[in-house]
């Protein structure tokens, strides 16, 4: 069976309702969405999500969410000094959405950085490796070179 690795950053998504109700919390990201829909569309396919997360409660919930979607979570780096990135979506009266990001301390920015649990060599068994321009933008120059 072909193994696919999707590399990227999953973020905590806060949706701020127009009516002032409490924010809804979810998890999203371009590469995560790709991994989920690939797994849903081809359930027999082995799809791993490759990222770095913290050791906090939201990171734990993310990993549980990935597993519930059938994704392989064995290539997730854990960083005690980092947390997931966060963004909020708000919608104005005309229905136009705007986004605010907090991702400077995102664990995904340290993916493939020493001390690395997940290295590019661990992706060698994958028949397909998927990443996006956003993934490349958040990785360090050293990680991109690897």
Q: What is the CATH number of the domain that holds 99?
A: 3.40.1190.20
The average pLDDT across 11-19 equals 89
Position 16 scores a pLDDT of 86
**Cα 128 from Cα 14, distance rounded (Å):** 31
Q: Is the pLDDT of residue 13 over 90?
A: yes
Tokens encoding 49: 């999500």
Work out the number of other CB atoms within 10 angstroms of the CB of residue 57: 9
Contact 132, 7 (CB under 8 A): no
The confidence score (pLDDT) of residue 21 equals 83
In the predicted structure, residue 28 carries a pLDDT above the cut 70? yes
Question: Residue 57 corresponds to which tokens in the numbers above?
Answer: 């409660």
Range of the domain at 48: 3-145
Buried-state track 5-21, b at ≥16 Cβ within 10 A, e below 16: bbbbbbbbbbbbeeeee
> Residues 59-107: pLDDT tens digits?
999 999 999 999 999 999 999 999 999 999 998 888 899 999 999 899 9
| Residue 115's pLDDT band (cuts 50, 70, 90) | confident
pLDDT band at 141 (very low <50, low <70, confident <90, very high): confident
pTM: 0.89
d(CA 145, CA 93): 44
**What tokens were used for 99?**
């986004």
**Cα–Cα distance for residue pair 51/73, rounded to 1 Å:** 9
**What is the number of domains present in the chain?**
1
The pLDDT score that the predictor gives to residue 1 is: 64
């Amino acid at each position: 069976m072909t193994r696919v690795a999707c590399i990227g950053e999953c973020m905590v998504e806060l949706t701020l309702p127009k009516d002032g109700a409490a924010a809804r919390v979810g998890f999203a990201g371009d590469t995560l969405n790709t991994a989920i829909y690939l797994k849903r569309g081809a359930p027999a396919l082995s799809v791993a999500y490759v990222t770095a997360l913290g050791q906090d409660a939201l990171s734990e919930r993310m990993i549980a969410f990935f597993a519930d979607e059938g994704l392989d979570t064995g290539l997730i780096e854990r960083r005690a000094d980092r947390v997931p990135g966060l963004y909020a979506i708000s919608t104005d009266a005309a229905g136009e959405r705007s986004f605010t990001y907090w991702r400077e301390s995102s664990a995904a920015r340290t993916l493939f950085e020493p001390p690395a649990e997940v290295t590019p060599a661990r992706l060698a068994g994958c028949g397909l490796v998927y990443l996006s321009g956003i993934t490349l933008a958040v990785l360090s120059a050293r990680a991109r070179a690897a």
